[in-house]
Amino acid sequence: MHIHILGICGTFMGSLALLAKQEGHRVSGCDANVYPPMSTQLEANDIALIEGFDPQQLDPAPDLVVVGNAMSRGNPCVEYMLDQRLPYISGPQWLGENILKDKHVFAVSGTHGKTTTSSMLAKILDQSGLNPGFLIGGIPQDFGVSARLTESDYFVVEADEYDSAFFDKRSKFVHYFSDTLIINNLEFDHADIFDDLAAIQTQFHHLVRTVPSNGSIIMPSSEGNIESVIKRGCWSKKHAFGSQKNDLWQFNLIEKDGSQFEILSYDEKGEEKERAQVIWQQTGMHNVSNGLAAVIAAYQVGVSVSQACDALSDFVGVKRRMEVIYTSKGVTLYDDFAHHPTAIKTTLEGLRAKVGDGIIVAIIEPRSATMKMGIHQHALANSVDSADQVLWYQNSAVDWGMEELSSAIKIPSTAMSSLEQLIKTTTDLAHGGVHIVIMSNGGFEGFHGKLINAIKKP
C-alpha cells in the first residue's frame, strides 16, 4: 500500500512514517518545514520527502492519506484530498488500528516528560529482553530512531493530549488502547485548542476511561490536578508514587542533583519489598520522577526493580533534551526542547544542582502555541531563577512585547528580535566555565549551528 503523510516532519508523524515503512508499506510525505533531526531520520530510511503542499503530489493518488494535526482546511493538499474523495485517516487512528490494537500498550502521558519517560521505559523493557516496539516524540540516543516495530507483544507510545486532526478534535491518546498508563503531571498548555485546565482534564478522563480494569494507571501522589481527574471515575489499578511515607513506590535521593538515587517498593502492610540504586547521566528531580514512573510501568510486566534500575543506569538520554551539542575550552552548549515554563524551570534547576557555581546562560525562544500567545508570561518570568542570565528571542510569530517580561526578571535579562544580534551577544558570553542552554521546541531558524560556527571563529 502507498501511504502519503501530510505533515510528515512533525515528531509524531515522522515516527509513524517509520512504523508504516517497517510494516511494509511504501511511504512518502510532505511538510512546510523540513529540518533535522526528523528530516534526517526519514531520509535515512528512504522515505520520500516533498517540501510544500502542491496537490500534484497526490496525482496519481496514494492508497491512503494520513493527515497530521497541523493540517487545516485551506491547505492545498487537504482541499484536493477532499475534493477528489481520496481515502484519509488521522495519524493516531491509523496507529491505534494498525499497530497497537493487538499489543500490550504502555502509554506515557502528561504535560512534561513524555518523551524522556517513554525513552526510559523502552530502554528498561529492551534491556530486560522484552524487545518492545515504540513510537516516541523524539529520538532516544539509546536506539537512534524515534520508532520501531517488533514482533514483541509490548509497545511504548508517547501519548499526547493534542487533538488528532482537523476532522477529529479528540486527543490523540484516546486512540491508543492503553493497558499501562503513566500520567506524569498535568498543567494548562495548548491554549490554541483548550480553553482552560478543566478542558484538558476532561480529555485525560476520556483516556482513563479507555484503560481496562486489569490495566494500570501510574501517577505521582502529589499532583492534585491528576487526582481531580481520577476522582471522576477510575476502574483500573492505581499506582501512586513519590517520596511520602505512605507511598508504595518511593525514591530516595543520594545526590541532591538527582544523578544518584534509590527506588524502593513496599507492600500494602508497609514492608519493604525491593530496593535498588540508579547512578546515571541525568540530573534533576523531574528526571528522578520520570525514571520512577518508568520502573513501575515495567514492573507491571515482570521486570524487577533491580533490572529496571540497571537499565536506567545505562540510559543515555534523548536528542534535544539537555543534549550536549558542543563543548570546547570550558564552554558547554546544550540543546533542550523546553516547551513550557515548568519544563524550563525544572531543567535549569537540574543543571544548577549539577554545575554548582558554574555560570548558566539560558537562551529561550517561546515557540509553543501557548507561549507564543503570551498565556504564560508570569510563569516564564519565574522559570529562569536558576540561571545567571537569560536571553529571549522574539520571533516573528510572537505578537506580544517581551521587553516587559524581561524587565520583570531578577537576573540579567534581555529580549531580542534579531537572530544576528542574539548570536553576537551569546558569542561574547561564551568564555571559560559557562553553560549555555538553548531552549526551543522548533528549529530556531538554524540558531544552534550558526552559534557553534560563531563560537569556533578565532
Q: Which CATH number fits domain 323-456: 3.90.190.20, 3.40.50.300, 3.40.630.10, 1.10.3720.10?
A: 3.90.190.20
User: How far from chain centre, in Å, is Cα 84?
Assistant: 36
Report the CATH number of the 95-313 domain: 3.40.1190.10
Average pLDDT along the chain:
90
Distances (CA, A) of 106 to 48, 117, 154, 297: 30, 11, 8, 8
Distance between CA atoms of 56 and 41, rounded to whole angstroms?
25
CB-CB contact of 395 with 419 (8 Å):
no
Which of helix, strand or coil describes residue 371?
Answer: helix
CB-CB contact of 5 with 71 (8 Å):
no
**High-pLDDT (> 70) share of the chain, %:** 95
Residue 378, Cβ neighbours under 10 Å: how many? Answer: 11
- For 37-51, what is the mean pLDDT? 87
pLDDT per residue as tens digits for the range 275-322? 999 999 898 888 999 999 999 999 999 999 999 999 999 999 887 788
Per-domain residue ranges of the chain: 2-86, 95-313, 323-456
pLDDT per residue as tens digits for the range 76-102? 999 999 999 999 999 999 999 999 999
pLDDT at position 372 = 47
377 pLDDT exceeds 60?
A: yes
User: Cell for 360?
Assistant: 548558566
pTM recorded for the entire structure: 0.82
Return the CATH fold of 2-86: Rossmann fold (3.40.50)
pLDDT at position 409 = 85
